A and B are shown apart, each in its own frame.
Chain A
Amino acid sequence: AQSVSQHNHHVILSEAASLELGCNYSYGGTVNLFWYVQYPGQHLQLLLKYFSGDPLVKGIKGFEAEFIKSKFSFNLRKPSVQWSDTAEYFCAVRTGGFKTIFGAGTRLFVKA
Chain B
Amino acid sequence: EPEVTQTPSHQVTQMGQEVILRCVPISNHLYFYWYRQILGQKVEFLVSFYNNEISEKSEIFDDQFSVERPDGSNFTLKIRSTKLEDSAMYFCASRTGQGGIDQPQHFGDGTRLSIL
Interface residues of A (CB under 8 A from B): 32, 34, 36, 42-46, 49, 51-52, 90, 92, 94, 96-105
Contact = CB atoms under 8 A, between A and B. Distances in A.
A96 B102 CA distance: 9
A51 B48 CA distance: 20
A92 B107 CA distance: 13
Interface stretch (B38-46, B62-70, B73-81): B38-46
A75 B50 CA distance: 31
Assign chain B's interface to a size class. 20 to 34
A98 B55 contact: yes
A43 B102 contact: no
Main secondary structure of the interface of A (DSSP, over half): strand
Given A43-B108, A100-B45, A51 B58 contact: no
Given A43-B91, A44-B91, A94-B101, A102 B107 contact: no
B43 A90 contact: yes
Given A98-B48, A99-B56, A43 B109 contact: yes
Nearest to A99: B45
B46 to A, nearest CB: 9
Given A94-B101, A98-B56, A105 B50 contact: no
A98 B45 CA distance: 10
Contacts of B91: 43-44
A5 to B, nearest CB: 11
Interface string B6-39: 0000000000000000000000000101010000
Given A42-B109, A44-B43, A96 B104 contact: no
A105 B42 contact: yes
Given A43-B108, A102-B45, 15 more contacts: A32-B101, A36-B107, A44-B43, A44-B107, A46-B106, A49-B104, A90-B43, A98-B31, A98-B56, A99-B45, A99-B48, A99-B58, A102-B35, A103-B42, A104-B41
Q: Which of A45, A90, A99, A105 has the most CB of B within 10 A?
A: A99
B110 A102 contact: no
A102 B42 CA distance: 7
